[in-house]
């Protein structure tokens, strides 16, 4: 039985969602909603479905069982709540919204309507990252000591200048931290457990935007490890994300979503570090060329809907990184 999916947004990420949905066996793009008529016409011509310039018309479209929200972050909860009230399952691009209060409203609405809520943190389903999760679960690094995460990315001035919402407090909720860095915060929380910021600093060092383009935080994890996190969109020309985790029995390095280095006192017999970097070019471009990660998340979400299971990242899991972002902003604005 086919499952019909509606896409909300109409920007670059909606094109990524459409390509991913089209690659899922048994899934169909049912409808699009956005405010750019030309972009919607282009998407409809390429992927099928019905294009709507009114949100109510889109929500009334049937058959449609799932919506994927790729609109500006500050609209996620509002649109997700409206979809849940219509009995539609909701899969939201990161972050869940721009405040935990709004995220809580969305979580509650989906629970009341008995629909699934998922958040697109596709890193959780990438093969090497899942392999790292298993290494940590088996305690092969021993007692965890340090975690360093570097997101030294670059966005040109036009990335912000040509957008009505990027780098704004009202619709983006912040800058490099909540938009680009949140993926890595979610990854750290998923791998290491809850964290709290001890010190933080946010600053606008390059771009002419309302919000920060650079953020730093010193973190303390519930497992006892300490961490250093940095995220920026000002580091030309942009470098692969790098995460290093060290324990008393070894160190692993995740670079561009691949396990590039793994030095363990007692490594698994079948473990081999990756020899090649990944295909994701997020370090220097907002365009997502490789949709494999989104495809996995969509397949996982469809499975959760059909089996009444839990998505890889549900609303409560998606809220964790947003809460940490809020805490970093609170400390960072005062340079604590």
User: pLDDT tier at 289 (50, 70, 90 boundaries)?
Assistant: confident
CA gap 303, 290 in Å, rounded: 22
Report whether the peptide linkage leading into residue 308 is cis, meaning its omega lies within 30 degrees of zero.
Answer: no
Q: How large is the angle between the packed helices 12-22 and 292-307, nearest 10 degrees? A: 60
Mark whether 169 and 224 lie in a shared domain.
Answer: yes
Mean pLDDT, residues 301-315 taken together: 98
Mark whether 105 and 211 lie in a shared domain.
Answer: no
CA gap 199, 335 in Å, rounded: 8
Mark whether 278 and 300 lie in a shared domain.
Answer: no
Dihedral of the CA atoms 91, 306, 291, 46 (nearest 10)? Answer: -90
* pLDDT one-digit tens code per residue, 226-284: 999 999 999 999 999 999 999 999 999 999 999 988 888 888 877 766 655 455 568 77
- Does the residue 326 lie in any domain? no
Mark whether 134 and 82 lie in a shared domain.
Answer: no
Mark whether 101 and 154 lie in a shared domain.
Answer: no
* pLDDT one-digit tens code per residue, 64-84: 999 999 999 999 999 999 999
Give the CATH number of the domain where residue 267 resides.
Answer: 3.30.360.10
Q: What is the pLDDT of residue 120?
A: 98
Mark whether 170 and 94 lie in a shared domain.
Answer: no
Mean pLDDT, residues 146-175 taken together: 97
Q: What is the pLDDT of residue 273?
A: 66
Mark whether 202 and 115 lie in a shared domain.
Answer: no
- Does the residue 110 lie in any domain? yes
**Which residues form the domain of 56?**
3-120+292-313
Question: Of 265, 317, 324, whose CA–CA distance to 116 is shortest?
Answer: 317
- Does the residue 320 lie in any domain? no
Mean pLDDT, residues 40-46 taken together: 97
Give the CATH number of the domain where residue 99 resides.
Answer: 3.40.50.720
Q: What is the pLDDT of residue 225?
A: 98
Q: What is the pLDDT of residue 261?
A: 81
- Does the residue 324 lie in any domain? no
Mark whether 114 and 16 lie in a shared domain.
Answer: yes
Q: Is the pLDDT of residue 311 over 70?
A: yes
Q: What is the pLDDT of residue 335?
A: 62
Q: Is the pLDDT of residue 176 over 70?
A: yes
- Does the residue 322 lie in any domain? no
Rounded to 5 degrees, φ, ψ at 202 are: -125, 145
Mean per-residue pLDDT of the chain: 94
The continuous run of DSSP H or E covering 61 comes out as none
DSSP codes, 74-103: GGHHHHHHHHHHTT-EEEEESSS-SSHHHH
Mark whether 27 and 116 lie in a shared domain.
Answer: yes
Q: What is the pLDDT of residue 336?
A: 58
Q: Is the pLDDT of residue 163 over 70?
A: yes
Mark whether 187 and 221 lie in a shared domain.
Answer: yes
Q: What is the pLDDT of residue 294?
A: 97
Q: Is the pLDDT of residue 316 over 90?
A: yes
E-assigned strand segments in 10-137 = 27-34, 50-52, 66-69, 89-93, 117-120
Mark whether 166 and 37 lie in a shared domain.
Answer: no
- Does the residue 142 lie in any domain? yes
Mean pLDDT, residues 317-323 taken together: 98
CA gap 319, 310 in Å, rounded: 15
**DSSP 3-state assignment of 239?**
coil
Number of structural domains in the chain: 2
Mark whether 176 and 28 lie in a shared domain.
Answer: no
């Amino acid at each position: 039985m086919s499952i019909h999916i509606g896409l909300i947004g109409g920007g670059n990420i909606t094109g990524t969602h459409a390509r991913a949905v089209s690659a899922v066996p048994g899934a169909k793009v049912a409808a699009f909603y956005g405010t750019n008529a030309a972009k919607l016409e282009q998407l409809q011509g390429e992927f099928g479905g019905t294009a709507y310039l009114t949100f109510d018309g889109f929500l009334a479209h049937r058959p449609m069982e799932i919506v994927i929200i790729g609109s500006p972050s500050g609209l996620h909860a509002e649109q997700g709540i409206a979809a849940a009230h219509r009995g539609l399952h909701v899969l939201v691009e990161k972050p869940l919204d721009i405040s935990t209060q709004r995220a809580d409203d969305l979580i509650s609405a989906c629970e009341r309507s008995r629909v699934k809520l998922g958040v697109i943190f596709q890193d959780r389903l990438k093969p090497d990252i899942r392999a790292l999760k298993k290494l940590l679960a088996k305690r092969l690094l021993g007692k965890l000591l340090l975690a360093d995460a570097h997101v030294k990315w670059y966005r040109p001035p036009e990335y912000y200048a040509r957008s009505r919402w990027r780098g704004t407090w009202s619709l983006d909720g912040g800058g490099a931290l909540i938009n680009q860095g949140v993926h890595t915060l979610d990854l750290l929380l998923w791998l290491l457990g809850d964290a709290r910021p001890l010190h933080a600093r946010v600053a606008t060092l390059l771009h002419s935007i309302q919000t920060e383009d650079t953020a730093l935080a010193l973190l303390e994890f519930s497992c006892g490890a300490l961490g250093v996190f940095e995220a920026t969109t000002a580091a030309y020309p942009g470098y692969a994300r790098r995460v290093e985790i060290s324990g008393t029995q070894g160190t692993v390095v995740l670079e561009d979503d691949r396990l590039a280095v793994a030095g363990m006192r007692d490594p698994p017999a079948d473990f081999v570090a990756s020899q090649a970097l990944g295909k994701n070019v997020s370090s220097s471009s907002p365009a997502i060329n490789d949709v494999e990660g989104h495809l996995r998340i969509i397949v996982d979400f469809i499975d959760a809907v059909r089996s009444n299971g839990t998505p890889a990242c549900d609303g409560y899991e998606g809220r964790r990184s947003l809460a940490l972002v809020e805490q970093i902003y609170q400390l960072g604005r005062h340079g604590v």
